[in-house]
Amino acid sequence: MNATSAPRMSIVVGTLNRGEVLGRSIDSLLAQDFPRDRYEIIVVDNGCTDGTEALVRARMATANNLRYVKEPKLGLSNARNKGIAESKFELVGFFDDDATAQTDWLTRLTTLFAGDPATGAAGGPIFVGWPDVRPKWMPRSCEGYFGHCYYGTERLELKFPQYPYGSNMVIRKEHLLTINGFSDKVGPKGGNMMSAGEQDLFSRLYKIPIKVMYEPAAPVEHWVQAERVSRSWVLKRSYKHGLSNTRMISNDEPYQAGKLTRRLFTASWRCVMSSVAAAAGWIMRKPPEVTMGRLANTMYWAGITRGTFSTLQAGRGSSQ
C-alpha cells in the first residue's frame, strides 16, 4: 500500500528523567521508512530535571516532525493525555522512552488500519531487552512487568482482558476522545510503580465497543534498566500490580460491602496458599524461577488484599 494513502499517526512518548535512553527511542522513531510529513513524534516532559529538553530540542533542529511539550502534573496517564490533546493526526500511537522499533514498525501498523477501517486499536509484540543476560531466577510469568507482550505469530483480533501494551499500541483518536483518555487514578506516578493504566483504558475502550487487533509483524524491543533486574524489584512490582488492579476495579464499580468482603476473603486465602507453595518450593529445592514465581504470586495477592481492605474500610467506591 502506498504510504500516502495510509492514515497518519501522532506518536506520544511520555518521559521522566530518562535522557540516557530517550535519545535511542526517538532515533528509532525518526528512522521509520514512512514519510515524515505523515507522522509526528510528541515527547511529553513530565517533570524532567536531567537535560531532556536539550536532548529533544537538539534533534528537533533536523527533524521537523518532532515536538516537545511539558505536562507538569505528575503521572504517565497525565503525560499521555497531554500528548492526545496535542496530537494532530487520526491515529495516536504510544511508545515508551526506553523502547526501540524496527524501521517498518509504523508502516506495518498504519497498513493494518488502512486495510480494515473497522479496526479501532492495534499493537504488536514487545520483546524484553535485558541489560546483560536474562536472569535464571526470572519467571516467565513476571516478564510482563518488564513490558513483554506476545500473543503469537498470527494476526488476530484481541478480546478483553487481552490488549496491546503501552510501548506498542495505536488507537484511533476519536475513540480516545470518546472515553476521555487515560484515567489519572491509575498508572505510574514518578517512582510509585503503580500500574493498570492501559488495562483500565482498554476495559473502557472495549465497552464502546471497538475492534482491537494484534499485528505480529510490528514488534518493538523494551530495554530494561539494570537496577530493575532484582528479586526485590519484581516482588515490589507484583505487589503494586495487585494494588493497582483493586484501585481500577473500585473506580469502575459501585461500592458493595458484601462483594468486597468476599473478594477480601478470596485474596487473603490465595495469598496464604501462594506463600505456602513458595516455602515448599524453597524447602524442596525447586528451580529458582519456580520459587520466585510463587513469591511474586504471593505479593500480587497481598496487593489485592491490601487494596480491597482499604476500599472496604473507607466505605466508599468510585461512585462516591
**pLDDT tens, residue by residue, 197-223:** 898 999 999 999 999 999 999 999 999
How does pLDDT run across 105-135, given as a tens digit for each residue?
999 999 999 999 999 999 999 999 999 889 9
Stated pTM of the model: 0.90
In sequence order, which ranges of 87-150 are alpha helices (DSSP H)? 105-115
Mean pLDDT along residues 295-307: 95
Which residues is 156 bridged to in the sheet? 214
Most confident of 84-88, 183-187, 190-194: 84-88
Please state whether the peptide bond connecting residue 7 to the residue before it is cis, i.e. omega within 30 degrees of 0: no
Give me the phi and psi of 221, to 5 degrees please. Answer: -115, 130
pLDDT confidence of residue 193? 64
Instruction: Give dist(CA 3, CA 155) in Å, integer.
Output: 21
Domain ranges of the chain: 3-228, 231-314
Nearest to 247 by CA among 165, 176, 192: 192
Residue type, position 184, single letter: D
For residue 320, pLDDT beyond 70: no
DSSP character at residue 318? T
3-228 has CATH 2.60.40.1180 classification? no
> Cα 272 to chain center, whole Å?
29
Query: Average pLDDT of the chain?
Result: 92
For the chain, the helix, strand and coil percentages under 3-state DSSP, each to the nearest 5? 45, 15, 35
For residue 318, pLDDT beyond 70: no
Instruction: Give dist(CA 23, CA 221) in Å, integer.
Output: 15
Give me the phi and psi of 145, to 5 degrees please. Answer: -70, -15
Instruction: Give dist(CA 83, CA 113) in Å, integer.
Output: 21
How does pLDDT run across 228-266, given as a tens digit for each residue?
999 999 999 999 999 988 877 766 677 778 888 998 999
Nearest to 122 by CA among 211, 221, 32: 211
**308 Cβ partners below 8 Å, 6+ apart?**
246, 260, 263, 264, 267
Query: Looking at beta carbons, which pairs linking 194-198 to residues 24 or more positions away fall under 8 Å?
Result: 194/240, 194/243, 194/244, 194/247, 195/237, 195/240, 195/241, 195/244, 196/241, 196/244, 196/245, 196/247, 196/248, 197/76, 197/77, 197/80, 197/166, 198/163, 198/164, 198/165, 198/166, 198/169
- The position carrying cell 503503580 is 194
